[in-house]
Chains A and B, each alone.
Chain A
Amino acid sequence: HRSPLNDFQRLRATELAVPTEPLAVPTELPPLEWGSAEQCAQRCTASLTCRAFHHDRQSQLCQLLPWTQRSPHVRLQKNIHYDLYQKKDFLRDCIVGDGTSYRGTRATTEKGLRCQHWRATTPHDHSRFLPSRRNGLEENYCRNPDQDKRGPWCYTLDPGTRHQSCGIKKCEDAVCMTCNGECYRGTVDYTESGTECQRWDLQHPHKHPYHPDKYPDKGLDDNYCRNPDGSERPWCFTTDPGREREYCRIRPCKKRPRPLNVTTSCFRGKGEGYRGRVNVTVSGIPCQRWDAQTPHQHHFVPEKYPCKDLQENYCRNPDGSEAPWCFTTHPAIRIAFCFHIRRCPDELGAEDCYHGHGERYHGHVSKTRAGITCQPWADLTPHVPQISPVTHPKAHLEKNYCRNPDGDSHGPWCYTMDPRTPFDYCAIKPCSGSSVPSILENTDAVAFEQCGRRDERLQRKGR
């Protein structure tokens, strides 16, 4: 049940640029072949020279490549048509097991001695390990052709030291994890029992909800161990059909990180840094203590989540949910969000003020309340303006200053330099005492069309 893609690391919308220098390796590009990413991976694995491949998802074409991003003079570049798959062994800076499959470019020993080229016979003559198409003895890179349990080694350029281990770390030690490993982005791809992980972008052998596209901030790359759901440690779905998921063994970092964004009287973002003492749900139900397992059993045991401050029965967010939450003491209600905790204001402090609605504001503030720089009114990118110095010549639409050419009742605004945000209000507040007319009025004739009608029969029927 392992996918041939398990040996590869994927980079989306990326291609390897053809080596720009005259190189020993052939620079004519291999022909395009038809096939799915998995079929191309199979071919690349079977080939002695292939180290990577481009895959065009649209046309289902692929191109096997004899180099990787680590090869000399080769560079990565954007290409929305291709995904680049590279053999992990050529990219990893750590070793799996005894490192027999290591194909990285480390060329110094653990004591800092430069490695001798495998094809050289000075200063150390040897005939046991000469480069061949199969054994990966390349350049003067550290390798482990004899399954030495200390891992990859090399002959050294020091006449007094024939060979020496390179001291390359095991992957489970190379990148340590803090807290519960939510931010772990290392390259361990096997579980603590040694079972290989299933790729997150595959739904076999185990179907699962953690699509990398749905969880863009969880680092669900390839088949590496991750912690997208607030578990105790990084884990993965396994390639063993009989075992859905399993924890991975990752070295904990010695230092515990300082909690970010600690707040007590309000919560910011998803409230993962909320350390206040609200401990009742909105509907008045007391929260269950985190160190209790009744009425609701759970795995959020405080000592296993040292960074999450699961004290008492306070609302907390140990798993990246929408907001702080808690188990409730009501047997029928397992969890309740604590949305009634005030949200911390997340806007820039005002840098100026305006009178009325700011139609006559001619100040020089030129950024939005979120701190995004304003687009110059005369520019056409990133947003084609519907309001410009041409359409509103008397509105003083100078440079990229905040203005209120359309009498917006919420104050000066501007088009923004963020392609996703056409316009926003500015870091300017009404001047104190500026009398904004009480804008609540009664309007007599009110009429609506194409909205607000429903099939009242459904209402009477109820459900």
Chain B
Amino acid sequence: IVGGQPGNSPWTVSIRNRAGVHFCGGSLVKEWWVISTRQCFASCDADLAGYEVQLGTLFKDPGPGDPDRQSIPIARIVCGPSESQLVMLKLARPATLNTRVALICLPPERYVVPAGTICEIAGWGETRGTADGSVLNVARLPVLSHGECNAALRGRLKESELCTAPLRAGVGACEGDYGGPLACLTADCWVLEGVITPSRVCARTDQPALFIRVSLYVDWIHKVVKM
């Protein structure tokens, strides 16, 4: 996260490879389920033996004695509808919810976040020297209306994309944050409205940042959990 500061996001998870290295982020939407982005995974039937999610700690690489850390193996990956670029990761056991680990809400189907809503991104990714890269960083971004964003992107915006406005200070997600949440406070609850996807440049000051619009895929998410 570029232009952010250390913060707390108890639904943000760190996805780690077999060598225990963080490589992407995710969001805990059910005790057994994490949402992330397809871009981070080799295939829809990847064998994720040895891959884990890490929750409950603000540190990217906590010491072995970190009391609140939960490391849970990933059992399976389920890819979302083609253009969604979403994946759901089934955990090998449920996460334990506590003050450090919480579920983020899912939006109502097809819900549109009102323009100007201040939302928050979180991750352990690249800070480009703007914050301490060893802890979880968060940053706030205002949602841009679909129409405005579409104009700014000269009509290239997809319905499955959600935009936040560029900030002069250069605030945004970067490598290592992909798959993490864009969370918006709605009715006093934090709701997963967007998933961070790779862009060609971090924290642009001249273009809106794009996220996967989760509300378009809530029916799929519920179906996967149910099935």
Contacts and interface: CB of A to CB of B under 8 A. Distances in A.
A440 interface: yes
Chain B residues touching A, majority SS: loop
Contacts of A420: 45, 76
**How many A residues are at the interface, by size bracket?**
35 or more
Interface string A431-455: 0000000111111001110111111
Contacts of B199: 282, 340
B40 interface: yes
A422 B175 contact: no
Given A216-B47, A270-B42, A383-B227, 20 more contacts: A282-B200, A282-B201, A283-B128, A322-B17, A322-B23, A333-B126, A336-B175, A339-B40, A347-B82, A369-B82, A408-B223, A409-B219, A420-B45, A439-B159, A440-B112, A448-B105, A448-B187, A452-B11, A452-B189, A454-B190
23 contacts: A216-B49, A281-B175, A282-B175, A283-B126, A283-B201, A321-B17, A322-B40, A322-B41, A339-B178, A423-B227, A425-B81, A438-B159, A439-B216, A442-B112, A443-B110, A448-B187, A452-B11, A452-B102, A452-B191, A454-B190, A455-B8, A458-B8, A463-B6
Contact of B99 (A209, A418, A423, A455): A455
A421 B87 CA distance: 13
Interface of B: 2, 5-11, 17-20, 23-24, 38-45, 47, 49-50, 58, 76, 78-79, 81-82, 84, 99, 102-112, 114, 126, 128-129, 132, 135, 146, 159, 174-176, 178, 183, 186-191, 198-202, 213, 215-217, 219-220, 223, 226-227
A440 B175 contact: no
B174 A283 contact: yes
Interface of A: 209, 211, 213-217, 269-270, 281-284, 321-323, 332-333, 336-337, 339-340, 343, 345-347, 369-370, 383, 386, 406, 408-411, 418, 420-425, 438-443, 446-448, 450-455, 458-459, 462-463
A440 B159 contact: yes
B227 A462 contact: no
Contact of A463 (B10, B126, B135, B187): B135
Contact of A282 (B126, B217, B227): B126
Given A336-B126, A347-B82, A370-B45, A459 B175 contact: no
Given A337-B175, A340-B200, A459-B7, A453 B76 contact: no
Given A322-B23, A420-B76, A422-B227, A282 B198 contact: yes
Nearest to A456: B8
Contacts of B50: 211, 213-216
A284 B105 contact: no
A214 B49 contact: yes
Nearest to A454: B10
Contacts of B178: 339
Chain A residues touching B, majority SS: loop
Contacts of A214: 18, 49-50
A451 B102 CA distance: 7
B173 to A, nearest CB: 9
